[in-house]
Amino acid sequence: VQLLESGGGLVQAGGSLRLSCAASGIILSVSAMGWYRQAPGKQRELFVLIISSGGRTNYSNFVKVRFTISRDNANNTVYLQMNSLKPDDTAVYFCYANLAAAGWTYRDYWGQGTQVTVSS
């Protein structure tokens, strides 16, 4: 199983970016997908999650309103629309999934990360 992110880059404060993450491989079921981020000198933190069953979403307070997560269940792809970006949003963004691959054992997976840099 692989998670492949795309869409990172450099943007000015107030701008927008859209990240995508596609899960590939032998995937039997996905329970949740989301995004972590890791800013320089800080720990990696989970800030948004979407639950497959029912589509419930959880956002950290610092991204509520500005960021929106959505998912294409048929293609095991998750999107993150980021608006009103701030320099504090500068980080490496990692896609996350909890899914069952061969053997029906659920486990966590992460992508390689995509850099988002917001200039002031």
Q: Is the pLDDT of residue 102 over 90?
A: no
- Between 52 and 119, where is the model more confident? 119
**pLDDT on residue 114:** 97
Residue 23, both tokens: 């899960």
Tell me if residue 74 falls in helix, strand or coil.
Answer: helix
Residue 99 β-bridge partners: 30, 107
32 — pLDDT class (breaks 50, 70, 90): very high
